[in-house]
Structure 1
Amino acid sequence: MTPSRFETGRPMLLAGLRRWYAFSEGPTQIPLDWKAFVTRLPLPRQVGGRTYGATCQADMEGQRFEYMCAAEVETFDGLPDDLGRMTVPEAHYAVFVHAAPIWTIRDTITAGFAWLASNGEWKDAGTPNFERYGPGFDAKTGMGDTELWFPVTRP
């Protein structure tokens, strides 16, 4: 799989549920957190209708990662204390379209990381990568308007 396009993403402030997951529990726990998160939308001072699944950091030795079910906000001011916050810097991204049911997103994530490791032209930029769910995403069917954004830079 190769990226569908490259795009420069603007800086964003993301707010949402931010938690650590064992690699083995992510596929079962993250959907539960999404169900809880969408009941809180829209967030105070939310920007647009997109939501984001951002990978904040990974602990490969501990076999766990930090993930955030999020929405973009104008400011962190006025957010409930229990919501996590993340500043995403401007970055250049390799964008992959996920055109299958959401429960298979791990396949596209794995393919994106495999491309990143083997493409020879781009490397990981070290900033958060994220899933971007647009207005065409249907949570009931798990289909539509889903992209994976991997931050890249040239070596």
Structure 2
Amino acid sequence: MMGLGPVRFERSGDLKIVGLQKSYTAESRNQIPQLWQQFAPSIGQIPGQQGMVAYGVCLHAKPDCSFDYLAGVGVEKNANVADEQASVELPDRRYVVFEHTEHVSKLPEAIETIWSKWIPESGLNVSTDAPCFERYTEEYDPEAGQGGTEIWIPLVE
């Protein structure tokens, strides 16, 4: 699939992610980069932050394509959350993981391809109730908008 590298399967481990959260629709999702611009200066400054990996978590997806999106970082389980921040705890589970090899602006197209083509053809039982997320590893270059980007889709266990 264009822009998607090899697929692998992984367990996430328990994750607590803290950051900024907003609600979006299919029409407004192109505004997610502004949320990242607002959150980015906080990366490395969040109390209890673990490493420099960042997450874009899609929560509460509805049939009308509206959803909540949290731009955040992983923190220690007992880390305090500031009033202006949101947090989500994701329990350990199994995911199918896609490496995204193109510019970050192509993520919506890659996600659409995964959900409309790859998943139906794979025969895998994916969870539509659990959050899916983007994972930006230390190799991600925010200036270039490329490298170290993964899309994690939860599987039914």
Q: TM-score, normalised by structure 1?
A: 0.90
Residue-by-residue CA offset, 1:34-55 (whole Å, 9 max, x unaligned):
0110111221110111000000
Spell out the pairing of 1:7-46 with structure 2 (5 A cutoff): 7-27=10-30, 29-42=31-44, 43-46=46-49
Are 2:121 and 1:118 equivalent residues in the alignment? yes
Spell out the pairing of 1:58-73 with structure 2 (5 A cutoff): 58-61=61-64, 63-73=65-75
Counterpart of 1:4, as a letter, is: V
Q: Which runs of 5+ in 2 are unaligned?
A: none
Residue-by-residue CA offset, 1:72-101 (whole Å, 9 max, x unaligned):
110354321110010101110000010000
RMSD: 1.7
Q: Give the superposition deviation at 1:32.
A: 0.6
Between the two proteins, the alignment pairs up a number of residues equal to 152
Q: TM-score, normalised by structure 2?
A: 0.89
Q: 2:154 aligns with which of 142, 151, 154?
A: 151
Distance 1:41 1:111 in 2: 30
Q: Which protein is richer in strand relative to its size? A: 1
Distance 2:36 2:147 in 1: 16
Residue-by-residue CA offset, 1:106-148 (whole Å, 9 max, x unaligned):
1211122122233223332631110000011111111100000
Q: 2:97 aligns with which of 91, 95, 98?
A: 95
Q: Give the superposition deviation at 1:22.
A: 1.6
Q: Which runs of 5+ in 1 are unaligned?
A: none
Q: Is the 8 A contact 1:48 1:72 kept in 2?
A: yes
Counterpart of 2:91, as a letter, is: P
